[in-house]
Amino acid sequence: MHLTSNLIEVEDSWEAVNDWFLNERLSDGLPIVPPTVERVEKMLSATSRDPAEVIGSIPPKWAPCSVEKIAINAVMAGCSPEYLPVIIAAVEAICEPRFNLYGVQATTGYVGPALLLNGPIRKSLKVNCDSGVFGPGFRANATIGRAIRLILITVGGGYPGETDRSTFGWPGKYTMCFGENEEKSPWEPYHVEFGFAPDQSAVTVFGINGFLPIHTAGNRGEQALASLAEVIKMHHGVSHLDVGSFGGGTPLIALGIEDAEIMARDGITKKQVKGYLWEHAALKFSEIPARRKGHKSDEDLMRESINITPDGVVHLSTRPEDIMVIVTGGKHRHSVFLPMWTGRNTLSVIKPIIEN
Amino acid sequence: MTLCQSIFMELARTEAKFFGLAQLPLIEVPHHPSGGAREGEHRADAEGAIRALGEKLTLRPSGQMSRRVGPDIQAE
């Protein structure tokens, strides 16, 4: 196998290697697994793709990200070789223009890529889709997401305080990868909505900038949905309308399995969940104080914002179908709203995972 | 020549270096559009940027500029 990356010679100790990566700002701050030639070659054995194949350019450096570079970062993150096809597909996804990776990397906001996995690969890689799905304890979840972050730092040059201008960052920028709990969902899996067969595997990337837990209320499906809409509506106005932050994009709702069960039991479909949230997790334009409208006039905002309907309502997204709904996690009445970075600045992208 | 809001100056300098343009002239714009600028500060930013642009393009201090640069903005 022919590798083209520079070989760096460092004292043969775990501490020296980690110090080198930290000093070169090629680390996320956590200890890394030293990417030796042997480890990188073993990682690459999980794909038949040419190590030199460039998957995309990673901003703000706009450096070419080859399969070899992905493998190096996967080793550093602690990935098992069979994770590599997922990471390659995720890099393809974040490099799609609609994801706006340059903005995601450089903004003062908090956004980072979050990876949703669907299909049989969740089982073969033991991706957690159940209790504690957004938390620790599972190698695939922890290291696949981390590999993406390391690629953004080492290949893209997105370093906090320099090129990554995020005011706060957020813990999801270390790693964020999770699976849909397809087995316990009453509805069709997320990727099937987008034309994939149930037995295909797919990764979807979302530019997520937060996490709003919602303990839903009521013992009927409609009540659960209403309580969800109420809390999302409260979150809705977190920025200025003139920069597109009131609505837009492809916001993600992660329904806990119990909320989804109750809704489905009472005859509510996933499409109806989206329609209800679009209609009710919304604000009247007239209710938004002027200070939140930024520097533009009401007339300009009404004309320019694609999320305001002619009846003067600012919706969660431009269209009901742009609200992304998944079912994940364990039991009890918890769901999560994962807002996307400012409106349409970033849009979700789904890609097939090719295992070979 | 690139106009850049203060928050992004470090990004701009670093990115310019990435592209082999370490000497790229940057004009700093102090207030972010969604920041806390007071009345008139965005206008002052714009006027300042136009002055700096003129200086960098002509390599002359703004005091030697005499052409009109906008409907209401009379550079010295």
Supply the Cα-derived Rg of chain A in whole angstroms: 21
Task: Let me know whether A300 and A228 are in one domain.
Answer: yes
Q: Which residues contact A48 (CB under 8 A, 6 or more apart)?
A: A356
Displacement of CA A66 from its chain's centroid (Å): 21
How does residue A246 score in pLDDT terms, banded at 50, 70 and 90?
A: low
A196 part of a folded domain: yes
Q: How far is CA A39 from CA A27, A45, A78, A97, in A?
A: 18, 10, 10, 32
**Contact predicate A341/A107, CB 8 Å:** yes
Task: Let me know whether A8 and A81 are in one domain.
Answer: yes
Please give the full DSSP string across A109-166, using - where no structure is assigned: S--EEEEEEESTHHHHTT---STTTTSSS-HHHHHHHHHHHHHHHHTT---BTTTB--
For residue B11, which residues of chain A lie inside 8 Å, CB to CB?
A: 60, 106, 162-163, 165
Distance between CA atoms of residues A71 and A84, nearest Å: 7
A238 part of a folded domain: yes
Distance between CA atoms of residues A90 and A92, nearest Å: 5
How does residue A236 score in pLDDT terms, banded at 50, 70 and 90?
A: low
The 10s digit of each residue's pLDDT in A314-349 is: 888 889 999 999 999 999 999 999 988 876 689 999
Q: How many helices (H) and strands (E) does chain A have?
A: 12, 13
Please state the domain count of chain A: 2
Map residue A3 onto helix, strand or coil: coil
Does A301 touch chain B if contact means CB atoms closer than 8 Å? no
Distance between CA atoms of residues A117 and A190, nearest Å: 9
What's the one-letter identity of residue A111? V
B58 part of a folded domain: yes
Containing domain of residue B12, as a range?
A: 2-32+39-64
pTM attached to this predicted model: 0.92
What's phi and psi for A138, nearest 5 deg? -130, 120
Tokens of A193: 């909505």
A345 part of a folded domain: no
Residues 26-55 in B contacting A (C-alpha not used; CB under 8 Å): 32-34, 42
With a cut of 50, say whether residue B67 has pLDDT above it: no
For residue B8, which residues of chain A lie inside 8 Å, CB to CB?
A: 106, 165
Please state the domain count of chain B: 1
For residue B34, which residues of chain A lie inside 8 Å, CB to CB?
A: 239-240, 242-243, 294
Task: Let me know whether A127 and A179 are in one domain.
Answer: yes
Strand partners, A255: A327, A335
**Contact predicate A207/A113, CB 8 Å:** yes
Task: Let me know whether A164 and A297 are in one domain.
Answer: no
Tokens of B18: 């990435």
The 10s digit of each residue's pLDDT in A58-89 is: 999 999 999 999 999 999 999 999 999 999 99
Task: Let me know whether A226 and A280 are in one domain.
Answer: yes
A354 part of a folded domain: no
Tokens of A218: 């009521």
**Contact predicate A119/A200, CB 8 Å:** yes
For residue B42, which residues of chain A lie inside 8 Å, CB to CB?
A: 295
The 10s digit of each residue's pLDDT in A2-55 is: 899 999 999 999 999 999 999 999 999 999 999 999 999 999 999 999 999 999
CA nearest to A3, candidates A38, A32, A34: A38
Distance between CA atoms of residues A141 and A148, nearest Å: 12
Q: Which residues contact A77 (CB under 8 A, 6 or more apart)?
A: A32, A33, A143, A144, A146, A147, A149, A150
A163 to B11: CB separation less than 8 angstroms, yes or no: yes
B14 to A157: CB separation less than 8 angstroms, yes or no: yes
Map residue B9 onto helix, strand or coil: helix
B10 to A165: CB separation less than 8 angstroms, yes or no: yes
Distance between CA atoms of residues A108 and A179, nearest Å: 28
Strand partners, A207: A113
How does residue A163 score in pLDDT terms, banded at 50, 70 and 90?
A: very high
For residue B19, which residues of chain A lie inside 8 Å, CB to CB?
A: 62
Containing domain of residue A60, as a range?
A: 1-209
Q: What is the mean pLDDT of chain A?
A: 93
Task: Let me know whether A12 and A106 are in one domain.
Answer: yes
Distance between CA atoms of residues B61 and B76, nearest Å: 10
Task: Let me know whether A110 and A223 are in one domain.
Answer: no
**Contact predicate A184/A133, CB 8 Å:** no
A353 part of a folded domain: no
Residue with the larger pLDDT of the pair A13 and A302: A13
Distance between CA atoms of residues A337 and A184, nearest Å: 19
Distance between CA atoms of residues A89 and B67, nearest Å: 55
B70 part of a folded domain: no
Of A161, A163, A295, the CB nearest to B15: A163
Task: Let me know whether A201 and A225 are in one domain.
Answer: no
How does residue B66 score in pLDDT terms, banded at 50, 70 and 90?
A: very low
Task: Let me know whether A222 and A325 are in one domain.
Answer: yes
Q: How far is CA B29 from CA A80, A109, A187, in A?
A: 47, 19, 50
B42 to A163: CB separation less than 8 angstroms, yes or no: no
